[in-house]
Amino acid sequence: MYPDAVQHWLDQIVDPDAIAHRSSRLLAVDISTQTLTLYLDSTAVVSYPVSTSRYGVNCTQDSNGTPHGVHEIAEKIGAGEQSGEIFIGRIAQGRKFNDRDSGDSKDVITSRIIWLRGLQSGINSGVGCDSYDRYIYIHGTANEKKIGEAASIGCVRMLNADVIELFDRIEQGDRVVLFESVASG
């Protein structure tokens, strides 16, 4: 059974095409607890620590906030790349992150990219709030020490080993719900 906060978002999807493409897998990102849980047939299979935005929850373009609501996996990028591989513009650079790179001053994307597309018009899809156009990803990070706390600039960061494992367990089109289990205030 999904947590109430996840079910709340799923119940808001009224588009028959969005419902028709549901798979048995669902990713639930709890921004309050900084965790991502993979569900299979409504049963939690595995949870991972993550890092969402240090700017909080916000769907607005240029806010650097992590968007909430129901999304789908639009694209999976990086299959077969080495752990720690750096991506720029979604292209593998042929080198791994190392200590000379600055993980604190920029958001280095590593290992895998799971690109999200919002499914809720006016919330996370459409002009001024589109998650896909904002390049909202679930991805590996060069700044693994910040996993478990809000530190990103909008994306959902994961440990490199975890994002590789997750990447291999999911498919394009799977649903992703980003939500807060505890209201922030």
pLDDT digits (tens, 9 = 90+) for 18-51: 554 566 899 999 999 999 999 998 899 999 999 9
Residue 185: predicted pLDDT: 46
Average pLDDT over residues 158-180: 96
Residue 2 pLDDT greater than 90, yes or no: no
pLDDT digits (tens, 9 = 90+) for 72-104: 999 999 999 999 999 999 999 988 876 555 544
Short-list 85, 83, 82, 80, CA closest to 101: 85
18/14 Cα distance (integer angstroms): 8
pLDDT digits (tens, 9 = 90+) for 93-141: 988 876 555 544 467 999 999 999 999 999 999 999 999 999 999 999 9
What's the pTM? 0.88
Give the model's confidence band at 183: pLDDT under 50 very low, under 70 low, under 90 confident, else very high: low
Residue 125: predicted pLDDT: 95
pLDDT digits (tens, 9 = 90+) for 64-74: 999 999 999 99
Phi, psi angle pair for 107, to nearest 5°: -95, 85
Residue 45: predicted pLDDT: 95
Q: What is the DSSP string of 37-83?
A: EEEETTEEEEEEEEE-BTT-B--STTS-PBP-EEEEEEEEE-TTPPT
